[in-house]
Amino acid sequence: GVVQDKLNALKNRQNELKIWFEEYNVVKTSFEGAYKAVGEVKKEIEEALGREINGEDDPDAILSNASKKVDKKLEELEEAVKSKQEKLDEIASSFEKMQLIVEILSSEEKKKIVEEIQQSSEYQQMEKLKDQMAILIDDIEKIKEAISEASNEEAEQKVSEAGKMIDNYFRRITNRPSESKIDFSVKVDSITRLNSYVFKDHYGQDLTPILSQGDLNALALSIFLGMAVSKEAKQPFGFIILDDPSQSLGS
């Protein structure tokens, strides 16, 4: 019985050692992986620093020196960029000056071409024609103004001669006791220079808006008759023929 108990105790001890050994292997594997990872990081740091790291190196000092080197490199890059930018600005300024020179030369060339054209006989002839056209247009405007004035004078004379007859015919045809007199006058349009005719009552009010369609037709017939029998009317036969003049004159 005692021997058996010792054997059992040894087996239990063996199992415990086996478990501890397995745990040791796990820890060892983890440690080896970590050691390998540290070695890789160390290698990367050495490559970045450009030298090997030994046990006497101070990590803070190494990082500080590396940071200073990086800062210095950045400053050098900034200076290089600034210098290149200044060069680019100088090139841009020179290019703008060249463009300005090209534009000036081009302008001078165009000016020279224009001067040559202006000195040509064709251009001189065209300028003469232009002056002649201006004179012709001015003469035409004067002729138009003279015709307008003559037409206005003639119309005023005819209206003056026929005014009383027109008034008499209109009041006889329409039988409007409210209209004791109709003034018939000529007005010249300030823009078109054409004659327009104004009909006013004895109060000076425009009759056109208040006359009916029949009254307007009667007024047109009165104007025709008044003009036909006036002293200014010139006709070889001495009579006129009217076809149904009373149509559309109102009741």
Supply the pLDDT for residue 234. 62
pLDDT score, position 148: 80
Angle at 42 between CA 39 and CA 44, to 5 degrees: 110
Asked if the structure places residue 19 within a domain, the reply is: yes
Distance from C-alpha of 204 to C-alpha of 206, rounded to nearest angstrom: 7
Place of tokens 């037409």: 151
CA gap 33, 55 in Å, rounded: 21
Structure token digits, residue 222? 């009165």
State the residue range of the domain holding 196. Answer: 150-229
Write out the chain's pLDDT in tens, 251 residues.
Answer: 677 777 778 888 888 888 888 888 888 888 888 878 877 777 777 676 666 766 666 666 777 777 777 788 888 888 888 888 888 888 888 888 888 888 888 888 888 888 888 888 888 888 888 888 999 998 898 888 888 888 888 777 777 777 788 888 888 888 766 666 777 777 777 777 787 777 787 777 887 777 788 888 888 888 888 888 776 656 666 677 777 777 767 65
Amino acid making up residue 35:
Y
Q: Is residue 21 part of a domain?
A: yes
Phi–psi pair at 204, nearest 5 degrees = 85, 10
Q: Is residue 251 part of a domain?
A: no
* Domain-embedded: residue 63: no
Query: Is 119 part of a structural domain of the chain?
Result: no
Residue 160, domain member (yes or no): yes
Alpha-helical runs (H) found in 53-120: 59-119
Number of separate domains in the chain: 2
pLDDT value, residue 75: 85
Residue 180 pLDDT = 63
Predicted pLDDT of residue 81: 86
Q: Which two tokens stand for residue 129?
A: 């024609």
pLDDT at 236: 62
In a domain, 217, yes or no: yes
Angle at 64 between CA 59 and CA 67, to 5 degrees: 125
Is 207 inside a domain boundary?
yes
